[in-house]
């Protein structure tokens, strides 16, 4: 039985997510479809990367991952399909693939019909045909062509100096906990046994890492490393993002902030000082 994961920024309030699943099952009857997330923030690549990368790595080899995020940022001419660590990844040619895989992979293009309106279900149909071909024993190279060119985007990189490290807010979860793209390994390597201060929103500061939310009293702020190994700013039984005015990083938000009065800014970075 094939496993297909489905991730999108479509939402779940209309017919489209159900129609996608129906179309996949019509062409691939012996298939299990797993929803990862359909509420990814539109145009927010770091959000999509965080969710996809940290969910998909737990799936078994042979899994197919269909990522329908920001599909129509430009006129879609092809889908990209890649193979890495025993799994297949398919998404629009918008740079997201290289952000998730953190490299420029061997990839094929699945051409889409031109000179007519394009919609999500046509993209899904092309993906389903590719999955069926692979199930019959064909390789990626046999079902598609190496694209003449495709978009490449790099993951958000940390900024760091001898005594500091700065990360971007990449995700805010259902409880308004704030996730920063600083991993535990990166933090400890830069820390090198030193004391530290985690600083955000100018004067807010945390000086220790907690193991659990309950390590601090109700309503108090804390920092810990979550199940994916990323730094998380939270409030025990509270909403950190709303209280502190923190917002996930996005290119569009960054551009918009340049036109907003400083008193209304949302903060998108967290800095750690070591001493």
Give the model confidence (pLDDT) of 210-229 as tens digits.
999 999 999 999 999 999 99
Give burial (CB, 10 Å; 0-12/13-18/19+) of 194: exposed
Give the max Cα distance, the chain.
61
pLDDT band at 267 (very low <50, low <70, confident <90, very high): low
Rounded to an integer, what distance in angstroms lies between the CA atom of residue 154 and that of residue 200? Answer: 25
Topology of 2-143 in CATH? Rossmann fold (3.40.50)
Q: What is the DSSP secondary structure assignment for residue 186, as one 8-state letter?
A: H
Asked if pLDDT for residue 252 goes beyond 90, the answer is no
Please report the pLDDT score of residue 92 as a whole number: 94
CA distance 237 to 174: 12
Of 66, 121, 114, residue with least CA distance to 90: 66
Instruction: Give me 70's structure tokens.
Output: 């920001």
Per-residue model confidence (pLDDT) at position 264: 42
pLDDT at 87 over 90: yes
State mean pLDDT over 90-100.
95
Q: 10 Å Cβ neighbour count for 133?
A: 15
CA-only gyration radius of the chain, Å: 21
* Whether the predicted pLDDT of 262 surpasses 60: no
Mean pLDDT of 230-235: 97
Q: How far apart are CA 144 and CA 158, in angstroms?
A: 36
65-76 pLDDT, tens digit each: 999 999 987 777
Instruction: For residue 246, give Cα distances in angstroms to 84, 169, 223.
Output: 34, 8, 14
Q: Quick check: 160 and 166 in contact, CB under 8 A? A: yes
Element (H, E) at 27: helix 16-27
Write the DSSP symbol of residue 208: S
Burial profile 97-112: b = 16 or more Cβ within 10 angstroms, e = fewer: bbbbbeeeeebbbbeb
Confidence of residue 117 (pLDDT cuts 50, 70, 90): low
**CA angle (266 as vertex; 71, 264 as ends), nearest 5:** 125
Report the alpha-carbon distance of residue 206 to residue 122 in Å, rounded: 49
In the three-class reduction of DSSP (H, G, I as helix; E, B as strand; rest coil), residue 60 is classed as: coil
pLDDT at 265 over 50: no
Mean pLDDT computed over 127-151: 92
Give the predicted TM-score (pTM) of the model.
0.88
Phi, psi of 218 (to 5 degrees): -55, 135
Domain chopping of the chain, boundaries? 2-143, 159-274
- pLDDT at residue 161 above 50? yes
Average pLDDT over residues 163-188: 95
Task: Write down the architecture of domain 159-274 according to CATH.
Answer: Beta Barrel (2.40)
CA dist., res. 35 & res. 3, Å (int): 11
């Amino acid at each position: 039985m094939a496993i297909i994961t489905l991730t999108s920024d479509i939402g779940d309030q209309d017919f489209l997510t159900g129609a996608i699943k129906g179309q996949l099952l019509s062409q691939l009857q012996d298939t299990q479809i797993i929803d990862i997330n359909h509420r990814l923030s539109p145009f927010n690549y770091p959000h999509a990367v965080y969710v996809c990368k940290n969910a998909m790595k737990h799936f078994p080899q042979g899994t197919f991952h269909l990522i329908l995020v920001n599909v129509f940022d430009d006129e879609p001419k092809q889908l990209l399909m890649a193979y890495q660590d025993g799994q297949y990844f398919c998404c629009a040619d918008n740079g997201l693939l290289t952000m998730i895989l953190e490299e420029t992979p061997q990839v094929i293009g699945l051409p889409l019909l031109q000179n007519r309106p394009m919609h999500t279900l046509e993209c899904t149909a092309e993906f389903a045909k590719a999955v069926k071909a692979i199930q019959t024993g064909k390789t990626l190279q046999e079902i598609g062509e190496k694209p003449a060119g495709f978009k490449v985007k790099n993951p958000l990189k940390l900024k760091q100096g001898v005594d500091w490290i700065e990360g971007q807010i990449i995700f805010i979860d259902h409880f308004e906990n704030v996730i920063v793209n600083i991993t535990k390994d990166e933090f400890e390597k830069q820390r090198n046994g030193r004391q530290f201060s985690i600083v955000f929103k100018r004067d807010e500061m945390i000086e220790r890492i907690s193991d659990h939310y309950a390590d601090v009293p109700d309503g108090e702020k804390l920092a810990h490393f979550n199940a994916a190994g990323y730094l998380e700013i939270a409030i025990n039984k509270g909403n950190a993002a709303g209280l502190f005015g923190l917002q996930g990083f996005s290119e569009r938000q960054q551009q918009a902030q340049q036109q907003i009065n400083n008193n209304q800014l949302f903060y998108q970075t967290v800095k750690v000082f070591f001493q």
